[in-house]
Structure 1
Amino acid sequence: MPSGLVALLDDIAVIARAASASIDDIAVAAGKAGSKTAGVVIDDAAVTPSYVTGLSPARELPIIWKITKGSLKNKLLILLPGAILLSEFLPQAIIWLLMLGGAFLCYEGAEKVLEKLGLAKHGATLEDEIVDPVAFENERVGGAIRTDLILSAEIMAITLAALELDVWWERGLALALVAIIVTVAVYGAVAVIVKIDDVGLYLTKQADAWKQSIGQFLLRFVPKLLTALSIIGTIAMLWVGGGIIVHGTHEVGFHALYDVIHGAEGVVAAAAGALGGVAGWLTYAALSGVVGLVLGAVIAVVLHKVLGVGAKEAH
């Protein structure tokens, strides 16, 4: 009996060590894979503040919290199970779903550009009289969560492609870990960004002159920061969406866009010398953005002009 007990304890120890090694492998894999999503994470952080711009300061954090919960649901309840199932049973479908999401990002970004150019606006905007603040807030939150779904899908897809884990549940844990960390990081940063003006207002009421100066600077800086982030968010949607389309079409056998854009990237990189890496990447990003803008504009025209979905005249 004692020998049997010792053998059992040895077996338990072996299992425990294996489990510990698996957890370590998952953590390392999640860290490596998550680092490759940095570009999309920045895009996500840039897009989100636009959804609280112009609304009551008292509603900023509650809105961000609603979007955060929606983002976690997107990643953990929708995208995570779908990613695991697709990777196991239908991996060839992933690229088509990614391109569908990319097309949506192109449409969202192009629509914002078209509106800035004075064309028809769609849905409620801050220039409109807000008759029902609750409904308007819900519309903004819904729009943010829909956009987050696409960006989250890209994050999860990049992570899944970078993972070197053969067991499905290990991939699932790594994806869940990345999803939680990214969501907390993105929306935590957004919460800080949108509350900087409150910090500035607090500092202007302090007795010390240097604190008042910093407060005045922050109050002047925040509106410019939010405007810049809104512009960056639009550019990011076009760049990421266009990039998904470029790579997706290449993966399914249509190589023209990919070859032209990466050919231009290579030429610019070679001509730029020591700055070749940066110049080449900027060329790729810019041309992907052009693809995104053209495709998004076509989708917007078809939806609003041909099909008449949600169009109203600008004023």
Structure 2
Amino acid sequence: MSGLLALLDDVAGIAKVAAASVDDVVGQAAKAGAKAAGAVIDDAAVTPKYVQGFAPARELPIVGKIALGSIRSKLLILLPAALLLTSFAPWLIVPLLMLGGSYLCFEGAEKVYHLFRPHAPHADGTPRGPVNPQHLERQKVAGAIKTDFILSAEIMTIALAALPDEGQSIWIIAAVLAVVAIGITVAVYGSVALIVKADDVGLWLAREGSVGLTRALGRGVVIIMPGFLKLLLIIGTAAMIWVGGSIVVHGLKDLGWSVAYDWIHHQAVAAAQAAGTAQGFVEWFVTAFFDGVVGLVYGLALIPVVTWIIDPLIHAVTGNKAEAH
């Protein structure tokens, strides 16, 4: 009997340790996932365009295929790569994070730039004449997964960099990254599914609603969705620039050049002290503002570099014209 009680006590101890580990994984995953907000919002804002032009019945299957490709990329490619970095080349994490931050700054700044200097009309590569819907769908899904891979790589790198530096088991790191990968994918593509079907739901309510209020709600959904999508794109662009700028500023500090970080921190603290109230929010807002300014200026500076140097190099190496941004 005493042996059984001792065994039960050991099992209870193991269960407590396991529960603590689960809490630790979930807590770290939530913090790490929050750091990737810019890439996540932009992903949710951009993905709906890949289902434009398809029959409503194909919209959710297409979103599902993109989501499946995204989770495969995160779990089968990016997660193992992150673990290898942690184990054998942790010094590469900051440079890779800054590379991803540069990508976010460039993408966000280019969107701002093209608000004032729209693309010149050009051939969009869409096949003329009869198109095989299945072939077009495969092309769209493949293109979306390719774009998602870049953003997923940035998300996973941000999540990895957000984890504590010391005392982390490789299994805890793997579990945290897996939770981040699955949670973000579900959140992004669940939101995308709701967005792409919102107008269909609105139309159905407007036509089939049994009472006037329901029909009015449906018409309201149809009316607001175009504006909502534009607002989502604006928020996504701003978040990309802010997060990208923050990554670059903190990366430079970690590499030994802290001038920008120190100046922004000094301005934020001074503004918070001057405000007197809500000092935490004021300090965060001022920091985010100047991080965004850095991200926008840096991103605008990258546009000619990408246009005249990087894109031609990609074309020379691959033989294919780089995809227009």
Give TM-score, length-normalised by structure 1: 0.83
Q: 2:25 aligns to what?
A: 30
Cα 1:66–1:11, aligned 2, differ >3 Å: closer, same or farther?
Answer: farther
Q: Is the 8 A contact 1:68 1:183 kept in 2?
A: yes
CA shift, 1:55, in A, is 4.2
CA shift, 1:258, in A, is 0.6
Q: 2:157 aligns to what?
A: 153
Cα 1:62–1:145, aligned 2, differ >3 Å: closer, same or farther?
Answer: farther
Tell me the number of residue pairs that the alignment of Structure 1 and Structure 2 aligns. Answer: 304
| RMSD of equivalent CA atoms | 3.1
* Distance in 2 of aligned mates of 1:52 and 1:293: 25
CA shift, 1:153, in A, is 2.5
Moved more, 13-22 or 195-204: 13-22
Cα 1:171–1:272, aligned 2, differ >3 Å: closer, same or farther?
Answer: same
* Distance in 1 of aligned mates of 2:323 and 2:83: 41
CA shift, 1:14, in A, is 7.0
Which of 43, 46, 52 does residue 48 from structure 2 map onto? Answer: 52
Secondary structure, in 3 states, of the residue corresponding to 2:164?
helix
Q: Is the 8 A contact 1:52 1:63 kept in 2?
A: no
Q: Is the 8 A contact 2:70 2:185 kept in 1?
A: yes
* Distance in 1 of aligned mates of 2:59 and 2:152: 17
* Distance in 2 of aligned mates of 1:151 and 1:73: 14
Identity of aligned pairs, percent? 36
Q: Deviations over 1:206-237 (max 9, x none)?
A: 23111100001111111111111111111111
Which segments of structure 1 move beyond 4 Å, counting only runs of 4 or more? 9-19, 119-124, 310-314
* Distance in 2 of aligned mates of 1:181 and 1:307: 33
Residue correspondence of structure 1 range 59-208 to structure 2 within 5 A = 59-120=58-119, 128=124, 130-131=126-127, 133-134=136-137, 135-136=139-140, 138-158=142-162, 160-161=163-164, 166-206=168-208, 207-208=210-211
CA shift, 1:278, in A, is 1.9
* Distance in 1 of aligned mates of 2:215 and 2:221: 10
Q: 1:265 aligns to what?
A: 268
Moved more, 281-290 or 22-31: 22-31
Which of 286, 291, 302 does residue 289 from structure 2 map onto? Answer: 286
* Distance in 2 of aligned mates of 1:25 and 1:182: 23
Q: Is the 8 A contact 2:101 2:245 kept in 1?
A: yes
Secondary structure, in 3 states, of the residue corresponding to 1:205?
helix
Structure 2 gap segments, 5+ residues each? 313-320
Q: Is the 8 A contact 1:115 1:121 kept in 2?
A: no
Cα 1:15–1:169, aligned 2, differ >3 Å: closer, same or farther?
Answer: farther
Cα 1:306–1:94, aligned 2, differ >3 Å: closer, same or farther?
Answer: closer
CA shift, 1:47, in A, is 3.2
CA shift, 1:10, in A, is 8.2
CA shift, 1:297, in A, is 1.9
Cα 1:89–1:148, aligned 2, differ >3 Å: closer, same or farther?
Answer: closer
